[in-house]
Amino acid sequence: DMARRYAIKDADEAAAYLEHPLLGPRLEQCAQALLAHAERPARQILGSPDDMKLRSSMTLFAAVAPERTVFQAVLDAFFAADPDPATLSRLHH
């Protein structure tokens, strides 16, 4: 399955993704673009299960790089600031 094939495996890989000169800035731009639609639910914008993938990925990147505030801003706007517990659990194990 494609989601598993391209999944980021741990915090180090997530940090490396953010440091990549193309991927990191693109991810931040996409997160910022979503915030322009914060009046709509994530499920309405992305559909399911992509809304839950958004919550998981924003949880991961907010935890790995809290100084990059756009990821927490997406969690705040679309998920009532509630991070994905499964993602946090995987990060801490």
What pLDDT digit, counting tens, does each position of 10-19 carry? Answer: 999 999 999 9
**CB 25 within 8 Å of CB 19:** no
pLDDT at 92: 86
Q: How far apart are CA 64 and CA 53, in angstroms?
A: 16
Is the previous residue joined to 49 through a cis bond, with omega within 30 degrees of 0? Answer: yes
Tokens standing for 4? 């598993």
CATH code at 69? 1.25.40.380
pTM of the model: 0.92
pLDDT at 93: 79
42-89 pLDDT tens trace: 999 999 999 999 999 999 999 999 999 999 999 999 999 999 999 999
pLDDT at 6: 76
CA 16 to chain centre: 15
CA distances (Å), origin 49, targets 18, 52, 69, 92: 23, 5, 24, 24
> What's the structural domain count of the chain?
1
Structural domain that includes position 81 = 2-91
Q: How far apart are the first and last CA of the chain?
A: 24
pLDDT at 78: 98
**22-26, 54-58, 89-93 — which is least confidently predicted?**
89-93
pLDDT at 5: 78
